[in-house]
Structure 1
Amino acid sequence: MTFSLLGHCSRTGQFGAACTTSSIGIGARVPFLAARLGGVLTQHRTDPRLGPRGVELLRSGCTAQETIDALVASTPDHGWRQLAAIDGAGRTAHFHGARMKPAHAEAHGQGCVAIGNIMASERVPQAMVDAFLASPDAPLAERLLLALQAGEDAGGEGRPLVSAALLVVAGESFPFVDLRADRDPAPIAALRGMWADYAPLAEEYVARAVRPNQARGG
Structure 2
Amino acid sequence: MTFSVLATDGRGAVGVAVSSSSPAVAARCVHLRPGVGGAASQNVTDPRLGTALLDGLERGADPQAALDGVVEGRDLVEHRQLTVLDLHGKAAAYSGARSLGVHHHRVGTDVVVAGNMLAGTHVVDAVVEAFEASSGELEERLVTAMAAGLAAGGEAGPLHSAGLAVVRSVPWRETDLRVDWHDEPIAELRRLLDVWLPQRDDYVTRAIDPAAAPSYGVPGDER
Q: Same fold (TM over 0.5)?
A: yes
Indicate yes or no: 2:2 matched with 1:2: yes
Distance 2:121 2:134 in 1: 23
Name 1:189's counterpart in structure 2: 187
Rg bigger for which structure? 2
- Per-residue CA deviations over 1:44-99 (Å, capped at 9, x if unaligned) read 10001111121111111111111111111262111000001001221010011111
Partner of 1:58: 57
Q: Structure 2: which amino acid aligns with 1:205?
A: Y
* 1:109 match: 108
- Mapping of 1:47-86 within 5 angstroms? 47-73=46-72, 75-86=74-85
Structure 2: where are the runs of 5+ without partners? Answer: 216-220
**Matches of residues 1-218 of structure 1 in structure 2 within 5 Å?**
1-10=1-10, 12-73=11-72, 75-136=74-135, 138-217=136-215, 218=221
Deviation string 1:112-153 (CA, Å, 9 cap, x unpaired) is 0000011111101110011101123x1000000001001111
Find the residue that maps to 1:5 and give its secondary structure: strand
Could you state the TM-score of these two structures normalised by the residue count of structure 1?
Answer: 0.96
CA distance in 1, matches of 2:89, 2:152: 25
Contact kept in structure 1, 2:162 and 2:189, CA below 8 Å: yes
SS at match of 1:176: strand
TM-score of the aligned structures, taking structure 2 as reference length: 0.94
The aligned amino acid for 1:3 is: F
Q: Distance in 2 between matches of 1:131 and 1:119?
A: 17
**Structure 1: 5+ residue runs without aligned partners?**
none
CA distance in 1, matches of 2:179, 2:40: 18
Tell me how many residue pairs correspond in the alignment: 216
Query: What is the letter of the counterpart of residue 23 of structure 2?
Result: I
Task: State the one-letter code of the partner of 1:196.
Answer: D
In structure 2, C-alpha distance between the alignment counterparts of 1:190 and 1:75, rounded to whole Å: 37
CA distance in 1 between partners of 2:181 and 2:133 (Å): 30
